[in-house]
Structure formats: structure tokens, C-alpha cells
Chain A
Amino acid sequence: MLKPIKILLALGLGLVSTAQAIAPTEADLKALQSRLDAAGTRITRLQDLTDVEIVQNAYGYYVDKAQWRSLSELFDENATLEIGGKGIFTGRARVFEYMNVGLGPIGPRDGLLIDHQQFQCLPTILPDGVTAKARCIAWVMSSGGWGHCYYENEYIKKDGVWRLKTLHGPFNMYSGYKVGWVDNVITNTFPEKFPPWPDLPPKVVYLAYPSYYAEPFHYPNPVTGKPMPAPSPRAGGEAFGR
């Protein structure tokens, strides 16, 4: 702790005393202005990370109480939504319909718990500063039991406000309560099982636990910078590792 104080004090006071005699030129002020601008961009990126996470976390609280109107307002009007294996729904109105028809009518219903807890959010602001991605988890505690799904979502900043552009929620594990995931798991939802029907087919067809599916990471390895390696084609089978 002591060392950095000394360094910083030396830096700060040193600048004051040595610069005392030298008044800034116009070029100096210009340089200072661009340094301030750069700092502003940097700080805004930090705020953006929080703002993106707020949109995602707000989504979870709205699901809890079936507040579909508020929930759909988190989406851009041209946004898409794809959850489980149900296919893609395009536009804010269809997001509302997916929830209101597929999950149940608007508003909380006594005796029906659908808590969608948002965990482990890992947001990334892209270099353009107006698009972002995030990987997150929904850990579901519902009247029916457990659910664990990822999100790999995209966000855009329009009129200074971050909003959902693409919500993609691949399932990892859904099970009942009594014996947990040792048995009685649901491997996915499907376009034809319940209305409404999707606008577009699923982006990828896969089965969740006890099978294996690894939703691609939107980010490279934070240390090596390398992209995600492809999983083994045997992953999810008994032959894996043999």
C-alpha cells in the first residue's frame, strides 16, 4: 500500500511543481481534451457492462411474475427469441406471444412458482460500443422442479439505451423435484409440442441432459485469446473417453 502512495504523490506533486512555470499551449489543451475523451469512452464501456447486465437480470425478475408486457419491452422491436428447441420468434409482439401463450397468461398465479434466477452473467461490449453479447445462466426453481439453461444473447444500444436484440436460451438440464436429475428429465422443447408455432426453425437441433450440447462461447479464452475448440464428436455418448 505504501509504495504506490509514494509513487502517486511524487507523480502528482511533481507535476504541479515542475509545470508551475509553463503555461499550457493550445496544443497542450487539445492533447488534454483527447485524453479526457479517451477516458470517457473507457468509463462508458464499464457502465455499459452494468447496463447490459441490468437488462438481462430485469428479464429474470419479469419471468418470475409472468410480467410479459414489461418483459417484451426489454426487446428491440425487431428482436428474436429462441428458447430450448422451440424455434425462433421474431419481433417484440411474438416475444410477448411466446410467453403469454406458451408459458401462461400474464400475471402471477398463486400456487405456480416459475422463478428464473439469473446467474453468472458474462457480458462483452463489442468494439463499436453499440452492440454487446452475454453468456448467462437461468437457474429455474419452479412448481415443476428444476431447470438450468444458458443464454447467449445479443444486445444493442439505441438512443443511448441497451436492449435485447437476440435472446437465445439453450437448455442444459430440466428435471422434476422428487428424485432430481437422476431420472425423469426433459431433454428439450420442440416446435410442435405446444403453441404458438415458431416463425423460423431452431438455429440448431440438440438434446440437453443426459445428452450433451455445448453452446458456443461468444468470447475467446480470456487468457490465451484462442477461440473455443470443437468438442469431441463422441461427447454425450458412452464411447467418449474410451
Chain B
Amino acid sequence: MKSIILACALVLLPATSSFAASDAARYAALQSRLAAIEAESAQVEAIVQVQRLGRAFGYYTDKGFFGEAADLFTDDASFQWGNDGVYRGKARIRELLTRHGGGSLKEAPGLPFGRLNLRMQLQPVVTVAADGLSAQARWREWGLLGQYKKWAGWGDAVIEDRYVKEGGVWKIATRQYFLNFETPYEGGWAALKPGAGNGPSDVAKAFPPDAPPTVNYKAFPETFIPPYHYAGSASPVALQSRAPVKAVQRPADALGKLEAEADARELQLARTHSVRAIENLQAMYGYYIDKGQWKQAAALFSREGSYEFGQGGVYVGPASIERGLSLMGPQGLEAGQLNNYVMAQPIIHVSADNRTAKARWRSDVLLSRAGKGRWGGGVYENEYVNDKGTWKFGTLHYHVTFWGDYEQGWAARPFPVEGPSTTVPPDRPPTVTYQSFPKLQVVPYHYANPVSGKPHAGE
């Protein structure tokens, strides 16, 4: 992405810095800007297409369309399932998915009576290579699994994919499926014993992989962080869009009209690109929180950024935010601590000048502490800033809808939202006061009704 922006900025100079620029130079500059617009459009389209592939995969496996799911891969694709190992090629991937999902290789798509295989594909962080021919993405899979009257269970996994564009079509080239746990509904993840997910699965025993796993790891309740494809970058490409630019007055001639139109297109593209960068930012934040990486999460905030969680008050600036986040547990968490914050349901609005943005998100929370499981749910209303082309959190504000006990559920045993910490006090008191479930409050929307344009007053 940076390369496109650089190239664009360089060729912009002759057109904007001098009124004396010849028509020929202005024309050439316009052509270059158009090329950059087209290249950047392709980058954003690639993000969309990768999101589409991941989601289509989930819809296929849900209902036993395992052949369709395998068709999303390249002919020589590889698929690492948990600690089992690597399966190569479409036919082997199809059989792998069929066996894990309870389907049949003998007949048309479907599942037998009573089989549940809902595998929700969530929270993508998509990074497209500069040449636009390959991409990587991190996903979260949340599985609802079971066999009627026999068992019900949860699945939790992180996926790291690599994609390639072959003959103009995006495909999955490699998938690392880091299964964190499959656990019975009864007792849930909090009841899992160490070593539960480390051995070979029943599927692998009957259907051995083609190669050992590329990464060996210890699944929950032990701690393990699936490697991030964006690790080691201070400013990951996934968070980048165009830097904000000052509006330019163009001459009133024919070329000036085209220049003004190119300005408008660049801004329009920048804003839709920014939407994707903000999706990536929120997802990235969620993955860091999952694993207790407070320092990495705090680094996603702007210098003046602030963090407010429930009724815990406001922490201002990355150092203070890191302290506020650490109330959830030690850096990196301890064995047995689950801290899944699922990020979903975005409503993102980028400002007209591409400098700031606001977004509403939903979070489901799956927790465990000291052998006890807990549910949570809530809504974010956040603000973001475009810092020279990289999106960061301005304010992050999580409104708690409910906390609930795993054993009895949120309806039978809700927990109240907690107030400010006395050991790590916030910099400022909470900006709003409310009680969580069984009390309900409507978290104010940063937007008017997206269709009628009406405010939400009175409802």
C-alpha cells in the first residue's frame, strides 16, 4: 500500500506545486494518479474478496458442503489441523473437513440427523501484498457442535491463512487452523484439563495427515499465541489507508475539472479503504486482548487515546491504558485463563475528510478464571484517528450489557458491572453511569437511522 501512496505523492508534486505546470505535465500527473487509484481499488477489492472466501467457507461447512469448501483452496493447498498435522490437496482437505464435520464422502452435500456443525467465521485481519497477488488473514472460528441427544459442544480456533490470486481468482493457498479447544457444553471450557487438546484427534488417528504440523503448540487451558502474520511491524499494512490531505483549489480549465474529479475519487477511495483498515484495527485489538497482550493492545492507541471499560473509568494515553488493561490479568495470561473478546457487527463511519472515524461494534466475551466460566456481552462506541495514513484508536469505550455465570447462564445468574479499580485507579471517572443486566440501557448511537436519517430520540 505504501508503495502506491508514495508513487502517487511523487507524481502529484508537479501538478500541485506550480501553476506554471504545463498542460502536458498536468495530464501526465493525472494519468499517474488514475493508475494509483486503480491499484488501490484493487487492493481494497482484494480485502473484500478474502473476507468473502473466509465467510463462504463457514457457510459451506455449516451445512455439510465440504466439497464446495475444499474448492475454495488451490490445487496444491495445505491445511494444518490443530496439532494433528498437514493435509495437502483438495481431495485430502475435503475428506478432512467431512470427517471433522460428520458428513459423508459417498453422497451429495448434507449432514445426518442430529449433527450440528455450525462454525462461525469471525473477526478477519486482512493484509494484501503490495503486488496484489497474495494476501494473508487471521480469523476466529467459533463452533457450535453436537449430536442430538448425545453431546453438545463448543469449538474455539484461530486461523492464519495465506491466499493467492490465480488467473484473476482469489483462493486459499495455506491454512493453519489453530484449534484452541473443542469442549463439551456441560462444564464448558473452564472444565478442560491440561493436555486436553494436545494429542492427535480421533480423525487424525483414522485419517493420518500427510506431514507433521509446522507449528507444535499447547492448546487451552495452557497458554499459546498463534503466530500473527503481521508480527514485527510497527505499522502493519492492514492498518493503513491514505493519509489525510488538504483540499486543493484546482484551476477552472478542462484539466482542472478532471483534477478536481480525481481529488474527489481519491478521497472517496481513501474513506472506503479506511473502513477496512478500521475493521482490521478492531480485530487486531481483540486478538491481543484474547491473549493478555496489553502492551501490544495499548500500542494501537494514539498518543492522546483513551480507554474506558464498563464502569471502570477512563485511562488516558498508551502507558495508562496498558495499566488499565492489565486489570484483566497478567501480561500473557496464566494457564486456565480464557479471555476471548469476539469483535463483530461493525457500523463504521469515516469522516468526510478521512481524518477521523466512529464505529459501533459488538463483543461477546468468553472468560474463565480460577476454573469458573463466565459469559459477557456488550457494545463498543469507539473513535479512531488517521495518523499519517495509519489508523489508531482515539477513544475506545466498551459498554457492558451483561456478565453471567457459565453454569447457570446470564439470565439465572447475572453479575453486576464493576466500578473503578482502587488498586489501579483510572485517570478520570466513568463518562456515563449505568447498571448492566438485568437492567438494560440503550447505548447511544453515533449515527442516525441509516435509512430514514432520523435520530433515535424517544426509543
- Bound pair (A, B): yes
Q: Which residues of A contact B (CB under 8 A)?
A: 1, 3-5, 8-9, 11-13, 15-16, 18-24, 28-29, 32-33, 35-36, 39-40, 42-44, 46-47, 49-51, 53-55, 57-58, 60-61, 64-65, 67, 69-70, 73-75, 106-113, 115, 117-122, 135, 137, 139, 141, 143-146, 148, 150, 161-164, 172-173, 177-183, 185, 209-212, 214, 217, 219, 221-224, 228-232, 234-238, 240-241
Asked if B452 is at the interface of the complex by the 8 Å CB criterion, the answer is: yes
A and B contact pairs by CB, cutoff 8 A, 12 listed: A12-B8, A42-B41, A47-B271, A110-B438, A113-B440, A135-B55, A177-B412, A179-B186, A180-B152, A209-B148, A230-B108, A238-B113
Known: A182-B151, A222-B52, A240-B107. A15 touches B112 (CB 8 A): no
Known: A119-B344, A141-B364. A214 touches B411 (CB 8 A): no
> Which of B41, B410, B440 contacts A46 (CB under 8 A)?
B41
Collect the chain A residues with CB atoms within 8 Å of residue B205's CB.
none
In whole angstroms, what is the CA distance A108 to B438 when docked? 11
In whole angstroms, what is the CA distance A211 to B456 when docked? 40
Collect the chain A residues with CB atoms within 8 Å of residue B108's CB.
229-232, 235
How far, in Å, is B96 (CB) from chain A's closest CB? 16
In whole angstroms, what is the CA distance A175 to B230 when docked? 39
- For B8, B11, B38, B58, the residue with the greatest tally of chain A CB atoms inside 10 Å of its CB is B11
Collect the chain A residues with CB atoms within 8 Å of residue B53's CB.
222-223
Collect the chain B residues with CB atoms within 8 Å of residue A3's CB.
130-131
Do A15 and B410 touch (CB < 8 A)? no
Do B24 and A23 touch (CB < 8 A)? yes
Asked if B415 is at the interface of the complex by the 8 Å CB criterion, the answer is: no
In whole angstroms, what is the CA distance A22 to B255 when docked? 14
In whole angstroms, what is the CA distance A51 to B261 when docked? 22
Do A58 and B449 touch (CB < 8 A)? yes
- Residue total for B at the interface (Cβ-Cβ under 8 A): 119
Do B437 and A113 touch (CB < 8 A)? yes
- For B30, B58, B67, B377, the residue with the greatest tally of chain A CB atoms inside 10 Å of its CB is B30
Asked if B91 is at the interface of the complex by the 8 Å CB criterion, the answer is: no
Contact with A along B293-332 (1 / 0, CB 8 A): 0000000000000000000000000000000000000000
How far, in Å, is A21 (CB) from chain B's closest CB? 6
In whole angstroms, what is the CA distance A221 to B65 when docked? 11
How far, in Å, is A12 (CB) from chain B's closest CB? 4
In whole angstroms, what is the CA distance A24 to B28 when docked? 9
Stretch of B43-51, B79-87, B422-430 at the chain-chain interface = B43-51
In whole angstroms, what is the CA distance A143 to B48 when docked? 35
Question: Which residue of chain B is the closest to A68 with respect to CB atoms?
Answer: B459
Do B269 and A43 touch (CB < 8 A)? yes
Additional 10 contacts, C-beta under 8 A, given A43-B265, A222-B169: A5-B130, A8-B3, A8-B35, A61-B379, A117-B345, A141-B377, A161-B451, A210-B148, A223-B72, A240-B111
- For A5, A173, A182, the residue with the greatest tally of chain B CB atoms inside 10 Å of its CB is A182
Known: A113-B437, A180-B185. A240 touches B130 (CB 8 A): no
Do B110 and A148 touch (CB < 8 A)? no
Do B41 and A39 touch (CB < 8 A)? yes
Stretch of B114-122, B220-228, B386-394 at the chain-chain interface = B114-122
Asked if B63 is at the interface of the complex by the 8 Å CB criterion, the answer is: yes
Do A231 and B63 touch (CB < 8 A)? yes
Collect the chain B residues with CB atoms within 8 Å of residue A232's CB.
104, 107-110
Q: Which residues of B contact A (CB under 8 A)?
A: 2-4, 6-8, 10-11, 14, 22-25, 27-32, 34-39, 41, 44-45, 48-49, 52-53, 55-56, 58-59, 62-65, 67-68, 71-73, 103-104, 106-116, 118, 120-122, 130-131, 144, 146, 148-152, 169-171, 185-186, 254-255, 258, 261-262, 265, 268-269, 271-272, 275, 344-348, 360, 362, 364, 375, 377, 379, 401-402, 409-412, 437-442, 445, 447, 449-452, 454, 456, 459
Do B144 and A4 touch (CB < 8 A)? no
In whole angstroms, what is the CA distance A119 to B10 when docked? 41
How far, in Å, is B241 (CB) from chain A's closest CB? 12
Collect the chain B residues with CB atoms within 8 Å of residue A237's CB.
112-113
In whole angstroms, what is the CA distance A161 to B442 when docked? 25
Known: A11-B32, A36-B265, A58-B449. A46 touches B459 (CB 8 A): no
In whole angstroms, what is the CA distance A5 to B3 when docked? 5
In whole angstroms, what is the CA distance A223 to B30 when docked? 35
Question: Which residue of chain B is the closest to A18 with respect to CB atoms?
Answer: B28
Query: What are the 10 tightest A-B residue pairs by CB atom distance, in nearest-first order?
Result: A235-B110, A241-B104, A19-B28, A210-B148, A8-B7, A180-B185, A73-B452, A232-B108, A182-B152, A108-B440
How far, in Å, is A112 (CB) from chain B's closest CB? 8
Do B110 and A21 touch (CB < 8 A)? no
Do A141 and B410 touch (CB < 8 A)? yes
Do B364 and A47 touch (CB < 8 A)? no
- For B3, B65, B379, the residue with the greatest tally of chain A CB atoms inside 10 Å of its CB is B3
Do B29 and A16 touch (CB < 8 A)? yes
Do A235 and B109 touch (CB < 8 A)? yes
Collect the chain B residues with CB atoms within 8 Å of residue A145's CB.
409
> Which of B152, B344, B440, B451 contacts A65 (CB under 8 A)?
B440
How far, in Å, is A104 (CB) from chain B's closest CB? 13
How far, in Å, is B280 (CB) from chain A's closest CB? 14
Collect the chain B residues with CB atoms within 8 Å of residue A137's CB.
120
Do B362 and A117 touch (CB < 8 A)? yes
In whole angstroms, what is the CA distance A213 to B409 when docked? 29
Do B440 and A110 touch (CB < 8 A)? yes
In whole angstroms, what is the CA distance A164 to B150 when docked? 40
> Which of A12, A22, A120 contacts B55 (CB under 8 A)?
A120
